[in-house]
Chain A
Amino acid sequence: SQKIEQNSEALNIQEGKTATLTCNYTNYSPAYLQWYRQDPGRGPVFLLLIRENEKEKRKERLKVTFDTTLKQSLFHITASQPADSATYLCASYSGAGSYQLTFGKGTKLSVIP
């Protein structure tokens, strides 16, 4: 079965810097990967989706990349702000008849003023 690995449990960065979070998948290449944000005591909120045939996607200060050779997605937040502090989850959707999303453990980002 698919496994999603987010190697960094926690990441601390200075305000204004770019945060880069990593998501690696094992086994088969997913039809797409999604990134969610989760604040304490709340459910995940969808941020971005990138498909297998896309290399890069952007939304405001967010950028996500998908490298099928490395089996990896990178999630970037540029000009980070303390309000960006949260846990970020990567999720894989296999397609091909399986409608399941498989989530990683998440990376807790802290942006220090």
Chain B
Amino acid sequence: EAGVAQSPRYKIIEKRQSVAFWCNPISGHATLYWYQQILGQGPKLLIQFQNNGVVDDSQLPKDRFSAERLKGVDSTLKIQPAKLEDSAVYLCASSLDLAEETQYFGPGTRLLVL
């Protein structure tokens, strides 16, 4: 079974630029999560989708971050404009369903904002 795919793996941008990350979850997984992991910290949930609907985006900085999962499969997370403090690893995870206990994580996208 293929795992969660993410691209790109690395990205370097200057502050105030925009950037987008892509995630392809495990086939058949209805729930998709985006996490931000700052160096030395645990992952922090940014947004959670159930199919193509948003379940929880309470910790998403909506003035600069946006995410979509239009067809209930792939998802894109965008930052516009980026700030220095957005430097982090952005992890995508998926699970079979909302109350499914195990989340499967992708390798992450490492973002450096200069």
Contacts and interface: CB of A to CB of B under 8 A. Distances in A.
Interface of A: 4, 9, 32, 34, 41-46, 49, 89, 91, 93, 98-106
Nearest to A90: B42
Nearest to A34: B101
B44 A32 contact: no
Given A43-B91, A43-B107, A103 B40 contact: no
Contacts of A46: 102-104
Contacts, number: 50
Identify the 8 closest CB pairs spanning chains A and B, nearest first.
Answer: A43-B105, A103-B42, A46-B102, A44-B105, A103-B43, A105-B42, A104-B42, A43-B91
6 contacts: A4-B42, A41-B108, A89-B42, A93-B101, A99-B99, A102-B45
Given A9-B40, A49-B102, 19 more contacts: A34-B101, A41-B107, A41-B108, A42-B107, A42-B108, A43-B106, A43-B107, A44-B43, A46-B103, A49-B101, A99-B31, A99-B56, A99-B99, A100-B45, A101-B45, A103-B44, A104-B42, A105-B41, A106-B42
